Structure 1
């Protein structure tokens, strides 16, 4: 028996704005773009992990009004869980994302626990960390 992560959801205020960040700045490819009931779900992924997709959607997509409102409050506060990406060239990735105009939270540094990493906020305020494993 095997098990693998298939979808990772990221709640965003504006799917188009988030798409520009995740597609253009991070280089992910759009795999699906589905509209339903006034909401939209966009999935993206990278060639290194063909079976894994990130799903972008607004707080109310597929949720009750009350749950969507609660999720919107958490998104506005910037307290939703971060997402962490891995790259083989952190400095080049950092420069590409910074050039997109994304808010830099942390420039690349070597962390005590191993990886070299940096951090940004996506257009909705979600923390996005990017790391590179140390050279062996």
Structure 2
């Protein structure tokens, strides 16, 4: 079978702040920016992974959701309980310093984990939890 990841979705409540974080702080590039009616979707991706994109979308963007469900999604996002994405990086400490110096919300400083990675945890401007890990060989 030939199955590969193409896109994953992250809910954001402020596209300008999200783009400042994902593009300026993390170094991802904007691949697409689409507006339709009162919604917007932006795809960002690492230049190192041309086939994988993160779609930034409004909370509750599914057209089949009721207004009450959309409100519930927005409340969950505001609480920071929606899941984000796990990234890999060649230098966890450098990424941590860059994000911290830019003033973004760091939850966990880089630390060595028993499963063979050094990782840190950061919240994006919408409250999504993102983890960044560096493989430790040895």
For the aligned pair, the TM-score class normalised by the smaller chain equals over 0.9
Q: Corresponding residue for 1:114?
A: 116
Q: Secondary structure at the match of 2:133?
A: strand
Considering only aligned residues, what root-mean-square deviation do their CA atoms show, in Å? 1.3
| Structure 2 unmatched ranges of 5 or more | none
Structure 1, unmatched stretches of 5+, are none
* 1:58-97 CA distance string (max 9 Å, x none): 1143433233222112112211113111001111111111
When normalised by structure 2's length, the TM-score is 0.92
Could you say which residue in structure 2 is the equivalent of 1:11?
Answer: 11
TM-score (norm 1): 0.93
For residues 43-72 of structure 1, the C-alpha deviation after alignment (integer angstroms, 9 at most, x for no partner) is 011122110000001114343323322211
State the shift of 1:26 in Å: 0.5
Match of 1:67 among 66, 69, 88: 69
Moved over 4 A (4+): none
CA contact (8 A) 1:40 1:61 kept: no
The aligned length equals 136
